[in-house]
A and B are shown apart, each in its own frame.
Chain A
Amino acid sequence: MRIESSTAVFLDDSGAVSIAQLTEQSGLNEAEVQMLVECGALEPRDAAASGLRFSSGCVTTARMARRLRDDFALDDAHAVALLLRFVQRIEELERQLRAVK
């Protein structure tokens, strides 16, 4: 049986998603996304008439936020945002370390 091939799409600055797509793909609700925007953990690309738009890379960030929320059973969006920033900083440092080695 022939298996159809599906094309993967980049999750980075090259694409854009609406807030509805971001909530659908991340598992966060709109209030949680708004809270992460207010805390500076997520940065909208622009504000269209239909609402905020984000780069596709934000899907990865939002999914990480949802994972941290669920993994640590966090109730507070501020705590999620703070933990997210630390995890992002650690990942960036690990990337820099790999580049130097």
Chain B
Amino acid sequence: MKYKDYYATLGVERTANSDDIKAAYRKLARKYHPDVSKEAGAEEKFKDVSEAYETLKDPEKRAAYDQLGRHAPGDEFRPPPDWQQSFGDTQFSFDDLDLADLFAGLAGRGGGGRRAPNAPIPGQDFEGAVNLSFDQAYKGTEIELDMSVAERDANGVLRRVPRKIRVRIPKGVTDGQKLRVPGKGGKGVNGGRDGDLYLDIAVQAHPLYRADGLDLYMELPLAPWEAVLGATVEVPTPAGRVTLRVPAGTRAGQKLRLAGRGLSRPDGSTGHLYAVAQIAVPTVVDDRQRALFEQLKDASSFNPRAHMVD
């Protein structure tokens, strides 16, 4: 286990009182928190600072940390022989844990007094990020997450172990959605409830569809004559191609609704697919087509800029 100097991380003396430790932490949190700092390495620095504060703010954890002795940061070390007995009923496998795991394993000891023996301790929540393709989000999918977690084995020894979690992602998730997997976090102790797994979902952009809630939007390019005269066109949807009736006089930006063709959820809620009309202009015309356009120009009194006249 590598030693970390939590006092040095917070920039305080080892004799600092709790108010000074809190003030030092708050100053560093304001500087390095990822929500406010875009400095390179800020997130890593904030993790270090948080880990240090998490231990030093709790009188019992701080006492346990102080009893580890002083070592150079980064040095491999072992707690003194009587350390485990002094600080609890948890056994630790020091070979695979890091310092943060050690003090997380003392969780439930805060508040200025020892917790009641055998008091239930809820398991830790885990968080993860999941990247899905549009197709996976549309249909739902099963994913496997590989995690390394600190948990107690059958003998009650806290050790870091690999864990594979398989999760069924329901259909209809959208980018930025949050999901909860009940009971798939850290194990509870003494009958405490198991923690949960929280997932942040990112869905890759689709070349055609843009999601807004359960609704989907796509551009529908139309030839000028299709927009003017109306047309029946074939369009893609996530469930396959369908025909769409474009009314005569369809304007650019007008939304044509394909009901029930958006995303759908297991509970039956369904969005719509909106085809947003775009007027596409042919850039290559032969002589006959050019002549027809000239005739149309001469025959029509349509002025799309009429509203711009003073």
Contacts and interface: CB of A to CB of B under 8 A. Distances in A.
A8 B169 contact: yes
A10 B142 contact: no
Interface string A1-31: 0011111111110100000000011010000
Given A14-B269, A72-B26, A7 B170 contact: yes
Interface residues of A, number: 24
B167 A99 contact: no
Nearest to B130: A8
Contact of B179 (A5, A10, A72): A10
A100 B269 CA distance: 26
A10 to B, nearest CB: 6
A73 B25 contact: yes
B145 to A, nearest CB: 10
Given A6-B183, A73-B25, A99 B210 contact: yes
Contact of A3 (B122, B164, B176): B164
Interface string B27-60: 0011001010000000000100010010001000
Nearest to A87: B35
Nearest to A9: B180
A3 B147 CA distance: 14
Interface stretch (B102-110, B193-201, B231-239): B193-201
5 contacts: A7-B167, A7-B168, A71-B50, A72-B26, A87-B35
B229 interface: no
A73 B28 CA distance: 11
A8 B170 contact: yes
Nearest to B35: A87
Interface in B160-210: 164-170, 173, 176-184, 193, 196, 198-199, 210
B180 A11 contact: yes
Contacts of B181: 6-9
Given A24-B193, A73-B53, A10 B170 contact: yes
Contact of B166 (A3, A10, A59, A73): A3
B165 A8 contact: no
Given A6-B168, A7-B168, A71-B50, A14 B267 contact: yes
B22 interface: yes
Given A9-B179, A9-B181, A73-B29, 11 more contacts: A3-B164, A4-B166, A5-B142, A6-B181, A6-B183, A8-B181, A8-B199, A11-B177, A14-B265, A24-B193, A60-B178
A89 to B, nearest CB: 12
A95 B177 CA distance: 12
B212 interface: yes
Interface residues of B, number: 41
B121 to A, nearest CB: 13
Contacts of A99: 210, 212
Interface in A49-66: 56, 59-60, 63
Q: Which of A3, A60, A71 has the most chain B CB within a 10 Å cutoff?
A: A71
Contacts of A60: 178
A72 B210 CA distance: 36
B144 interface: yes
Contact of B167 (A6, A24, A72, A73): A6
Interface string B256-272: 00000000010101000
B29 A72 contact: yes
Contacts of B198: 11, 63
A10 B22 contact: no
B33 A25 contact: no
A3 B163 CA distance: 10
Interface string B6-29: 000000000000000010011001
